[in-house]
Structure 1
């Protein structure tokens, strides 16, 4: 029950269902999710350890605010760890890993083809396909802890994209970028890891611009 509660809470925080700086009061959460206080406390503690929930002494739990400093931290951390996970995956990956990348890219292409950026349901599906693609690139990395860290950082970045409503406009270009990246990874090209780091940086620039210089 705690795991299920953590999953639903994380989804609502990442997707914007729970707004930044929202106090997470136990009574409200039990009504919202239909779960008892004990599994909710465990879920909140787990999410606090992952950085998706803020614990402030006597003030209790809350949804973290969005700030330039935090987004830069997440982006730069991803640029350090994800390319390394990719390098390890390219060394260790076999046919099953390659098939996973091809399948994930195909699913992403299909989802973009039926896009409806005004639909929250479609955005959820698109984000799931996009996440699956990025996961597939590093799936053969033999370090589970590194993979989990990459996953957490990815979701932190997704939260900013969803909150700032940075729905991609040039879908053809976005798809092309992912196709080129997949091609380089499947070829075990030396430039694949720097390409991934650059891609992570470019997507953050849009959100940083929307946050503006006044973002804390």
Structure 2
């Protein structure tokens, strides 16, 4: 679970990232400080720093005299982040399986249980989807939490959030919830068994998620 942001800059960064990922700030929307201050209650200084941080992470675009804006959604960008995830996340998982101990295993089991329970209580409200996404994110973080390379984990997390933005914007959350729960259980079982097949399973899982979104771009080829 995320710790509470320690500063106004961190809180503003978290708030804006969440709104961009959820689509509350839509693609290509201009991010003007005055509007954001009225929307969030944060001052211009922390908001400016938050936007600079988000630009470095790829969640915001900065263009000279035009200022900051939300990135567009494109097939090329989705393929980029998907293939990048398929390249780096299985490696982070391999390192986690080598280094992980009992606490790592316990968090995988706990986060999976919370995810499955959330699926069982699903509702059509957007607020439920926000809670589900938080539980889903916790599970994927748990898988690689024992990876000793902090920068690699952070990069994986940024790519995960970029993928989530596409899923949310394209309304591509799976309609087959039971199959989704089973897929996460199977992935967790391989990881907890330290089975090398877990790497390919994770790679396939990432590709399956992206394929649903790519289909909405008219692309039938899996990543």
Taking structure 2 as the reference length, the TM-score comes to: 0.94
User: Any stretches of 5+ residues in structure 2 without a counterpart?
Assistant: 1-7
Give distance in 2, aligned partners of 1:55 and 1:168. 33
Say which SS state the counterpart of residue 105 (structure 1) adopts.
helix
Counterpart in the other structure of 1:133: 139
Give distance in 2, aligned partners of 1:29 and 1:167. 28
Give distance in 2, aligned partners of 1:84 and 1:66. 27
Q: Post-superposition, which runs of at least 4 consecutive aligned residues in structure 1 deviate over 4 A?
A: none
Give distance in 2, aligned partners of 1:172 and 1:27. 44
Say which SS state the counterpart of residue 55 (structure 1) adopts.
strand
Establish whether residue 142 from structure 1 lines up as the match of residue 148 from structure 2: yes
Map residues 31-180 of structure 1 onto 2, 5 A cutoff.
31-116=38-123, 118-180=124-186
String of CA shifts for 1:49-98, please: whole Å, max 9, x gaps: 00000001111000000000000000000001100000000000011100
Counterpart in the other structure of 1:185: 191
Give distance in 2, aligned partners of 1:194 and 1:187. 14
Give distance in 2, aligned partners of 1:35 and 1:133. 31
Give distance in 2, aligned partners of 1:143 and 1:170. 34
Deviation at residue 129 of structure 1 after TM alignment: 0.5
String of CA shifts for 1:12-55, please: whole Å, max 9, x gaps: 00000000000001111111111111111000000000000000
User: Any stretches of 5+ residues in structure 1 without a counterpart?
Assistant: none
Stretch deviating more after TM superposition (167-176 or 103-112): 167-176
Give distance in 2, aligned partners of 1:161 and 1:25. 25
Aligned residues: 212
Cα RMSD for the two superposed structures: 0.7
Deviation at residue 212 of structure 1 after TM alignment: 2.5
